[in-house]
Every structure is written in structure tokens, then in C-alpha cells.
A and B are shown apart, each in its own frame.
Chain A
């Protein structure tokens, strides 16, 4: 591993960095919207169901002496379930326009420096999600097909499909990972995407890197549980404008809070 800036390696180093360069605290009060709707559960052919929190947070601008941001620590509070902080990258959008729909590509997973590594490498997602950006209309358990995607080994022309529930509501998230071709672990780009039906709505393909994670679990009561965890050492160094997004491993609309500290990484 190259001798790059690694302030997360120890508490003294982290404190020294925070003393010299400060840190950027971000706190969100989050609630899935529309709050009265329960996200649509996954059909068995799909992935585990998740919920997006309807809000991105962009990494802020940073001075010229720094390469970018990493998350130093993350705290979450929720009434139950998995709570992830993800680095989120939009790969493309499928618009439901009748028939197979219209796919609009955005960008392949970008190259970023990663914590502790001295060269820019493609960010490989931990999760490849389908996220409902606009509630879908007129789709009865549609099958979403990706006839041409690129996997984590830069192999293009891979294909997969996944059935999702009828007319999923905005914010519903489904994990494609168990449905990828062969032993593929992730999607790094999508060249084509289609649906078997639906007259309106939109679904995005997200490549997400898990930055921090905790289970906010209760014993069945309604109390909130605060959870704290250090962020993963396996982080891309985020550029200004790169997006963070919390993902929940439940489908019920509930209030959540997440706070995390951004730490600058030197060139």
C-alpha cells in the first residue's frame, strides 16, 4: 500500500487531522416520503427490500491541498432495522413510458482514489440497487431486464433480470445482486434496460458503496435505538458533489436520524 494520507488509522492521527483541518459534521433528520405509504415488499424472485430516504447529501467543496473526503464516524438512530450510509452513484434511469420503457444512461461507476491507496480506481459497488424514483403506474409484477451491463471485472454484455412488485412506490429499493449473471458481484455500468410493462414512473440504477452500517434493533417495542459505528476503511475518497445517501433495511416509513463526520484527506 502506498504511503498516502491515512488519518483514520488511529485515534491520535484522527484527532491530529481534526485539529489541523477540522472536520465537517453532517446531521440529517430523515423520514421517507410519502410518509403514509409503506414501501412495496419484494416478491420472492427479487432481492431483499430496502428503503431510500429520498434525500442525497453532496460532499462539500474542499481546499486545493486535499484530495477529498472520507467519513470518520457515523451515528444512526432509528426504530428498527438495518441502517446504512452509502456512497451513491447514479448509473442510469429507466422511464416507464409504455411498452419496454426508455432507458437513459447517466454514467459508469467513476474512478476515485480509495482510502490508503495511491491511484484512482473504479469504485466497485457493494450493492447494485434498483430505486424507484417516481411511483410506477400500470405495471403488474414487472420484470426489469438489464440485457447489457458491465460487471466488476469490466466485462460488458452481461445480462440479468429481476421481477419486482406491482406499481412500486417512490423510495422502494431492490437489490439486484443476487440476480446477476454467473458469479458477478456488482454492476459498474448499464448499457440497456427495459421493463415488461408500466405506463408511468421511473426506476434508477444505483451503484452503492457501504460507508458505515449498523443495526438499529429493538426487542419488538417502538423505542428508538441509537447505534454508533466507525466508518469502513474501504471508502472511496469522495469529491465535491459526490453523493451520500442513507438506505434502510425496512419497508415501513419511520423517522430516522443519521449523523456523520467528514474528514479531509491530503493530496
Chain B
């Protein structure tokens, strides 16, 4: 049953409700951004369950590996953090891994075939997202630099010219960053290459297509922020199940993406969703 009215939503909650918690794991101190890394200090927050930072990363457990065919809508989100920050509930869709320890094309794309798709306006359409780098092994000696080749929001292949530089020679694991896009582009459907021009001596990173779902900022340290999926999303309660890959299996976790300080941070959250 598609939710068309508030009454539909309340009735749907009886049988289709999903409540899930994140008892977060402390992120550890991350490295603050510099202008060459994009200027925004950012990171991802994960669930304690099943996570081994930064090799095995898990989000809300009930939404991990949920089938893309299910239509699950966010009703409400309550979250608290140990830091004041701007934040979003996001789908972290894994594109691949980066080894920045030599020059040249250093992205290993996962076997999953992109673009990812969701049903929008009556058809399965490619999704757009933020190109995100999450350092999973602390770098050393040199702040690596790279350019990104990608498929833009319109499905057009782009050879990138803008350089992302790691924020420090020893950028800590857990440090995130938004990879730069060419002028006129606003999002990606996929990344096809990461061309390292300056190599580090050590380090590794995950590369994601981040799909923001709803804002979940922490306005005051230690206090709870409530987000209403009915009104906070402006149009309809947003989907929280993963998108569907063109082919293969998608590694997709429901996590928090934040922009804020580099001090260690831990998320506490409960999400309420309803399956239509």
C-alpha cells in the first residue's frame, strides 16, 4: 500500500514498522581538512555491532543488505553525538578501494556494476551521489594527490582535472573527504578511475557514492536531535533501503556522514521506518 495520507502511514505502522538502533563505535580522532582536501572536515559514523575500524564497517543492522526491492520509508530519526556537527543519514554505497602508494590509476572498482538505480517517477533510474573518500589506513610520508574520472549526474563520462590532496602526510584512518567535481557537475553516478599523481608511502581508502537521505545534525553536544521523515523530507518519507545495482551484489550500509571537527565522535540513534 502506497502511503498517500497520514492515515495510511499510521495504519501501515502496525504491521510494517521497523525500529532499529545504532549503538555507535567511537570514530577515533581524524585529521582536519585543509583547502587542498576540500576544506570540509568530514567522516562517517558506524555501528558498534560488527564493525572493526576501519576494515569491516557496519551501519544500522536491520538495514544492512536489505533487499533493494523492498519499499521502506523513514518515519523518524532520533540521534545524538558526542560532538556538535552537521550530519546526514546516508547510504554509503561502496564503489571500490584506493591504494595511493604508487602513481597512476589506483582505484580497484568493486565487481558491482554501476549505475545504481531506484524507482523514481515510475521507472528505475540511476541515482546520483557524493563522491566520498574514507581513509581506512593512516597514510605516511607524503600527502597523496589524485584526480578523479567519473560518470556525472547526467550519465556523461568525465575526465577530471581538479586535484584532491590528502589533508596531511599522516592522514588518520577515519578521515573523510568529498572528491572534487568539474565545474558544472553536481554529483556522480560512478567513478571510473582515481589517478594518483603524488604517492604516499602507506595508506588505503574506501571510495563511496554517498546518498544523503535526510539531515540529522547534532546541534548541541549530548542532546538529541529529532528528524521527522514525514515533514523533514519535505515531499514524501524518504527511502532507506539500498539502491539496486545494474548487476552484481552491492555493499551498502546505512550510516551517518558528518561535517565538523576532527575529534573522536560516537553516534547514538534510533530509526523508525515503515515498509509500504
Specify whether A and B are partners: yes
Chain B residues with CB below 8 A from A185, complex form: 16, 18, 275
Query: Do the beta carbons of B78 and A178 come within 8 Å of each other?
Result: no
A201-239 CB mask vs B (1 if < 8 Å, else 0) is: 000000000100111011111000101000011100000
Within 8 A of B (CB), among A112-135: 114, 116-117, 121, 124, 126-127
B120 within 8 A of A: no
Q: Whole-angstrom distance from the CB of B83 to the nearest CB of chain A?
A: 8
B223 within 8 A of A: yes
> How many residue-residue contacts, CB under 8 A, span A and B?
92
Q: Whole-angstrom distance from the CB of A178 to the nearest CB of chain B?
A: 4
Q: Which residue of A lies closest to B51 (CB)?
A: A44
- A183-B80 contact, Cβ under 8 Å, with A124-B15, A126-B19, A215-B269: no
Query: Do the beta carbons of A82 and B21 come within 8 Å of each other?
Result: yes
Query: Do the beta carbons of A117 and B23 come within 8 Å of each other?
Result: no
B121 within 8 A of A: no
Chain B residues with CB below 8 A from A44, complex form: 49-50
Query: Do the beta carbons of B17 and A217 come within 8 Å of each other?
Result: no
Within 8 A of A (CB), among B18-49: 18-23, 47-49
- Complexed CA–CA distance, A220 and B49 (Å): 20
Query: Do the beta carbons of B19 and A215 come within 8 Å of each other?
Result: no
A64 within 8 A of B: no
Q: Which residue of B lies closest to A227 (CB)?
A: B224
Chain B residues with CB below 8 A from A121, complex form: 14-15
Chain B residues with CB below 8 A from A217, complex form: 80, 222-224, 268
Q: Which of B13, B61, B70, B275 interacts with A178 by CB under 8 Å?
A: B61
Helix, strand, loop or mixed for chain A's interface? loop
Q: Whole-angstrom distance from the CB of A194 to the nearest CB of chain B?
A: 23
Chain B residues with CB below 8 A from A214, complex form: 78, 224
Query: Do the beta carbons of A152 and B15 come within 8 Å of each other?
Result: yes
Q: Whole-angstrom distance from the CB of A26 to the nearest CB of chain B?
A: 22
Q: Whole-angstrom distance from the CB of B102 to the nearest CB of chain A?
A: 33
Q: Which residue of B lies closest to A250 (CB)?
A: B23
Chain B residues with CB below 8 A from A65, complex form: none
Chain A residues with CB below 8 A from B23, complex form: 48-49, 81-82, 249-250
Query: Do the beta carbons of A127 and B19 come within 8 Å of each other?
Result: yes
B64 within 8 A of A: yes
B183 within 8 A of A: no
B204 within 8 A of A: no
Query: Do the beta carbons of B19 and A1 come within 8 Å of each other?
Result: no
A175-198 CB mask vs B (1 if < 8 Å, else 0) is: 101100001010000000000000
- Complexed CA–CA distance, A175 and B62 (Å): 10
Query: Do the beta carbons of A116 and B222 come within 8 Å of each other?
Result: no
- Complexed CA–CA distance, A126 and B16 (Å): 9
Q: Which of A117, A183, A213, A250 interacts with B70 by CB under 8 Å?
A: A183
- Complexed CA–CA distance, A232 and B11 (Å): 13
Q: Whole-angstrom distance from the CB of B82 to the nearest CB of chain A?
A: 6
- Complexed CA–CA distance, A127 and B268 (Å): 18
B49-89 CB mask vs A (1 if < 8 Å, else 0) is: 11000000000011010110010000000111010000000
Chain B residues with CB below 8 A from A234, complex form: 10, 13-14, 17
Chain B residues with CB below 8 A from A178, complex form: 49, 61-62, 64
B7 within 8 A of A: yes
A47 within 8 A of B: yes
A139 within 8 A of B: no
- A215-B268 contact, Cβ under 8 Å, with A183-B70, A210-B19, A220-B82: yes
Query: Do the beta carbons of B269 and A117 come within 8 Å of each other?
Result: no
B121-151 CB mask vs A (1 if < 8 Å, else 0) is: 0000000000000000000000000000000
Q: Whole-angstrom distance from the CB of A8 to the nearest CB of chain B?
A: 11
Known contacts A48-B47, A121-B15, A221-B222; can you find 12 more A-B pairs with CB under 8 A?
A1-B7, A1-B10, A81-B23, A81-B268, A114-B14, A121-B14, A178-B61, A183-B70, A215-B224, A217-B222, A220-B82, A227-B224
What are the 6 A-B residue pairs with the smallest beta carbon separation, nearest first?
A: A217-B80, A219-B222, A234-B13, A178-B61, A126-B19, A219-B221
What are 24 contact pairs spanning A and B, CB under 8 A? A1-B10, A47-B61, A48-B47, A48-B49, A48-B61, A82-B270, A124-B14, A177-B20, A178-B49, A178-B62, A185-B275, A210-B272, A214-B224, A215-B79, A215-B269, A217-B80, A217-B222, A220-B82, A220-B222, A225-B223, A227-B224, A234-B14, A234-B17, A249-B268
